[in-house]
Structure 1
Amino acid sequence: MKYKGKGNIREHIMEMSHLASKLKALKLEISDDFLVHLVLLSLPAQFNQFKVSYNCQKDKWTLNELISFCVQEEERMKQETTESAHFASTSKGKGKRKRKEAATKGLVQKKQHLGNDQKKKESGPPKCFLCQEPSHLKPDCPKYHAWRVKKGIIRALVCFEVNLVSVPRNTWWIDSGATTHISVSMQGCLNYRKPNDVERYIYVGDGKHVEVKAIGTFRLLLDTGFYLDFQDTCIVPSFRRNLVSVSKLDKSGYYCSFGNGEFSLSLNSNVIGTGSLTYCDKLYMLDIVTSYNETLHVDSRGTERKLNNENSATIWHKRLGHISKMRIDRLVSDGVLSNLNFTDLKICVECIKGKQTKTKRLDATRSSDVLELIHTDTCGPFPSASWNGQQYFISFIDDYSRYGYLYLIHEKSQSLEVFKSFKLEVENQLNKKIKCVRSDRGGEYYGRYDGSGEQRPGPFAKFLEECGIVPQYTMPGWPSMNGVSERRNITLKDMVRSMISHSTLPEPLWGEALKTATYILNRVPTKAAVKTPYELWTGKKPCLTHLRIWGCPAEARPYRPNEKKLDSKTVSSYFIGYSERSRGYKFYDPATKSIFETGTATFFEDVEFGGRNKVRDIVFEEESISIPTVTFDNTQINVPVGEKVIQEPQQDNVIHSPVHNEQPQQPQLRRSTRERRSAIPSDFHVYLQENEEPDGMIENDPINFSQAMQSSNSQNWIDAMNEEYKSMQDNKVWDLVLLPEGTKPIGCKWIFKTKRDSKGNVERHKARLVAKGYTQKEGIDFKETFLQFQQKTLLG
């Protein structure tokens, strides 16, 4: 679509942008650069010069910039054809300007920007327009200067700006109509002085005059690496841009060239500066870096000119990509570079911008007493929830003692509630007050960000303020400022990973492992304190005799008020931690998948329960028929996995009623006897085992798998179990089927018996795997008994 002049240019561009949005909705997306190109193609011939200006640009415009520039171009074309943006004049009337042009018509131009000399014929010696003397012109007339001093008019002429656009104050603009350099501020001024009566005012194009505040010297660093000094520069705060006078540069011996939207400044055929035409206001802007106190002077009385010194360390520092001074010294010492002058090598702003790093963390100031400073941090969420569904944990660490508290939480919003409980406990126990709390700037501590992007204090911060506790927050992006908590989190997670990896317990028990790790860290030495955290916190030395390996198997005796006389007194379980409010241990029962606490237990820490040989793997691999290798006391056993053989006795190991099978009644009586003997303390069993040979005592048969593995005949029992398992496989005793819905599977257990001859000598060890039919209840698991048999006569 073409722009035919109906409406304004803004409406035309917005209509094309709307069409592009419709195409994008149809999955025909048009890039912004291509849309700008289409808009330029749709403009009529009146905008041809505008199109050429766009093609000369290095940077591409956005659609919004194109709209702004097109609107300005449209307004410019509506105005008069005469240039109204910038002009210079010394009078208000047109007649005076014509007379001035006639008076200066005979002057020969010293330099032309296009390089073409124009020779004009002179019809006699020129005369002064004011006094009619042939020896000089009006600008050099003594009477004219006396009149100007009397009126207080400065000799400088500058342009007057009509079109007002936003101009950066640190830019310098080339002005062919100004007779002096103009600066709008004192920034970058090397030295200055007050103006005299002749330099007091500057006349602008509309006939008005503006006041000059000072006369100074400015230094510019051009993008080519040259330095340029402007002396006798007028400082006029009422101006909107810094102006560079072309006529003053010309008098100083410089050559200015304009063309194709580019400006170049040359000295002795060397280009020392460049500029470019801006399309927002049609002015040339000088390409500079910043102002520096270096050498290259320009003034009306003569210019001291100095090009780059090849021995300058600053120049070579930039040529070599801003490398360090030490590396430049090596190049000089190796003979790659000649001796350089390092006196001009000062602080490089570009190096600071490109290489700035975080400042070195200062040494922390330690507290002198407990509760003076508490470090806290929230960690999570973890991939899997803990046993009770928590996915986060929050820690509180005392800076003086390094004693830590740890709480498992479901959400970060629980941080304040947990801190209140922690505060009440520690302040009551130590009879002291918390003074400072150090944390990061997380939302649970500092507060959330509102709609304006500002972080407002949250409930946690307000509670600290109410309690008179001084909060200490880290800087954004500086977690190392809360290094105590961050390091504690890393240590805890490393310990938990190692503990779970060494054990055979499910991953959701990471919460219990985390509490155990905190319990241990409070009782072991730390580099930050002379004594252990527990001793500094409580004043007592810690006792470590009760510590056990996390995740080790154990026979624990829980409190069961409904326990029957023939029930097993212990439960085969795993140690998972220490009781928080009691003197006892916490255990995990894999059979019931529950956690209980008790103070009576026997731990099997010497059992290799990690790595490839995991006893608990047998429990969960019910459908597998492979025979994994299990290690107990440096012995190996091939245990069947097709049935729940090993772990089921943890819940109930005693037969309450006889089973109707072909076995004699004597073994059941012996089992009843063995159950009664299990009530004897475990240390007495150890005593009997240690004194078996000297006293000639006979070891009783074990009543469960754990006792069989701890007995002196453990290898014999392992061989017996392998023999029983092989026999059952050969006879195809079982078939693997799916468990019907609503039914409960019947467990099984091992029966161990030592076969002896008439003299009491051991003949063999027998192990039998039997089903626990006594666990069935009439009316629930079965309704009638049935014995399948057939008479031999019926078979014939």
Structure 2
Amino acid sequence: MIGSGRAHGGLYLLEASSQDSLPSIDSSHEALQADSSPALLELHQWHRRLGHPSFGVLGKLFPLLVKQCTHNKFICDACELAKHKRTSYPSFNNKSTAPFMIVHSDVWGPSRVVTLSGYRWFVTFIDCYSRVTWVYLLRHKDEVFSCFRTFHKMVSTQFDAKIRVLRSDNGTEYANGEFRAYLADHGILHQTTCVDTPAQNGVAERKNRHLLEVARSLIFTMQVPTNFWGDAVLTAAYLINRMPLSTLDFQVPLDLLQGTSLGHRFPLRVFGCVCFVHDHRPSRGKLDPKALRCVFLGYSATQKGYKCYHPSSRKTFVSMDVTFHESVAFFPSSSSLQGESCVIQEEMDFVCPPTRTATIQGEAGVPMEGEQVTCDVERATINQPSKCGRLDRNDLKTYVRSRLPVKCQTEQTTCVPPTLSQSHSPTPGPSSPPSSSNFESSGTDNPVIVDIDVPIAVRKGIRSCTQHPISNFVSYSSLSPSYRAFVSSLSSVSIPQGWKEALADPNWKEAMAEEMRALEKNGTWDFVGLPNGKKPVGCKWVYTIKQKADGTIDRYKARLVAKGFTQTYGIDYQETFAPVAKMNSVRVLLSCAANQGWLLHQLDVKNAFLHGDLEEEVYMEMPPGFSSQTTNGKVCRLKKALYGLKQSPRAWFGRFHKAMVKIGYKQSNADHTLFIKRRGDMITVLIVYVDDIVVTGNDSDEVSKLKVHLAREFEIKDLGSLRYFLGIEVARSDKGIFISQRKYVLDLLKETGMLGCKPVDSPIEVNHRLMSGDGDLVDKERFQRLVGRLIYLAHTRPDIAYAVGVVSQFMHDPCTTHLDAVYRILKYLKSAPGKGVLFSNHGHLELEAFTDADWAGSINDRRSTSGYCTLVGGNLVTWRSKKQSVVARSSAEAEYRAMAHGICELIWLQTLLRDLGIVCNKSMRLYCDNKSAINIAHNPVQHDRTKHIEIDRHFIKEKLNEGMICTPFVKSEDQLADVFTKGLSSRFFHSIVCKLGMRDIYAPT
């Protein structure tokens, strides 16, 4: 009897245990042991060792064993699961007559399961004559061209042969200008398939199927998690190249290619079995085990040894000193056999792939004696692990380090509080004494050196990986107790995502009620019926927390905001312009405060927009959560400006301007949100951003009078010393003033699922080749949202300015490569979430600028990228990275345009400082590393090369003649603006970032 079942609802329910529902993959092996001859058992063992070849292939390899068998076949569940197929296409006999006359190629992927080294694809190159197969693992499809160049050089060097024809499909990885130009330059004919006719590339398609069949068989036999599919594919290629093929009349591909039988370099073993590797590490003690229990993952491409993976130490060993237990599976039998999910896969789904490099996983299918093949880019000697998890490819020894799946956990916190994971965080407890030089923070002078379009981390949810915990990159041990409490409180309260959630919390419910009382008290609206032909605007609730200077919660703030995007110009609004404080101005004030010892205070205007009167007739829907029977069918006729309306900022600023002028403050010409009042040598400065106000200066009496006056005009909250302004955290000590967006970065990493990612040490690759249409399209709105948040973050992170500028060029048609570049920036931010700009007291307020240009750096249109940064009092205050609007015909021209931009910025800064009463009699220094551009600026020479930039030339020459600026030459290694024009190597990048004055007071010590 096979089974029994009971009738239920017209169906019979089969009664079977969970163990019976899916037989073990080894059930066929057990059946063979129970009812088979010893010869058949031994033949089956070779079947498993050799990657599950057919019975006919085994007959050619072991004719004596086959003759002793009573059966001419055996049942293998792994083969059935891995090789089950439909009917094949008819074959065509048009083989080439010499090696490498025709090379077939195809790309497989992307795999939903990313390997532990971050690979999602592989590309194959098959010699049509011998059917020898080369396999290269890829992280991105655009690496195919690089792989082909490597393969082409290998063929030329190792086999002294020339490739005549390359056959592939019409994928963009093959059919692009760069690839075609390379083939044309080397006389290689590129034959492609017709549309939707994959059978024309049948050799490569069939080879991919063969590789995957063998790889799946290897995986299923020993229940190997699918994270290791890359090792399985490389092992499959290694084995297939050394076994007879029916298409070659059962000749061995490698033998046919070499013209002689090479045999096996060392005995073959069952993939995924338990093995014991002799421990050669010098750190092994006398009483420690002499071997490590590992899993066998194939054969090395560059060394004569077995690849063995040791999970507990997170290392891969390449050794010949190995003992195998081929009948014992390393991984438990509970691993999933079908589908792509398994225990280890769930642990690694959200670990982001490592950064792309020029070196690609080498072909492991054809390692021959004396042949050097590029190998795993993640390798390094285990006794010298490099900092931050980076691995040195030049130190490849017998012991090899690789990435390991690690246990992961769902992230529970919105950011990292000071009490995070005391077991692995250096944060001191409450009783710990503050460090000797606390920065409210004590600063340190040492810098801290797959849907397919969606990264797996995002699809799987917000998680964190214990291999790279965020506590390794954020510490609060350098902060004073008061400032530590402040930064902790920023994340101590969760913000509700909707009004229903807010009403469930008494604190937020009271905040909403307080907002409604303030609106009604101010006479903001009347309840009326909606007139015919009028359309009301919607509204929503927005929530935030207001903190005091000591970090304690001042109040829960709920704000009713109108949905102004539904307004219509000319009907319910007219003029809308209102000045907004420039972040450049804020940084200039901070530099002045650091150099002059000015105080810094912060004020908040409660319900600021309600102080502005509306001139237009505007109707708004009832506030969510506050409708009643008396207001059913009615709308709000607005009489006062409300947050969200297009005209509200203009109405509010007009009211605020009148209040400031009334008490003698003058508006700056450089920034209209800046108000200044001088009394002799005393000065008071105010800058306003909507309802957030920063006050600085050296006149404490005037500051007190200003607060009293503003309190009479508006409802003002005095927040004390400046600590948190527009999402920017401000810390002050005797070292200076430090600004960062630590919480903003941590929130961004959490929302994108990148808290557990492996960090990288630069925001963009050196010599990146990002271009339009490169890859599959991704979600445009999501891409724009991410880039927009990074643009705001760049206000305190000049180190990402260039990278953000590059990805922002692809807002309209973002592709997978562009999204990968965005996620690389996030991985870089993970390495130092608390990094920011330090404003120190250098004893002067001189103006300096550095300008640079990357000539023809954009591969899309060959336009140059200008970059500049300016310093006030030795502190970085403004910076910019921008593609030039026209194509420059020479590097001197590109540099000259960058100089013009830098001079414009210096002139604006000079105007701003003059308004602040700061006059510098010295010429402003504009540093440039291009002597030709400097010569053109000083002398009217080379007219043919400069006549098309006459305006810039006359502008710069005029400022030089006035003595306003001087243009000293600077060496390229000291050119600070270089970081704003191109991707730099890690060492050079961090050197410049340090010189710019960036520090990380949150770096673990």
Give the structure with higher Rg (CA): 1
The structure, 1 or 2, with the larger RCO (C-alpha pairs under 8 Å, 6+ apart) is: 2
When normalised by structure 2's length, the TM-score is 0.24
When normalised by structure 1's length, the TM-score is 0.31
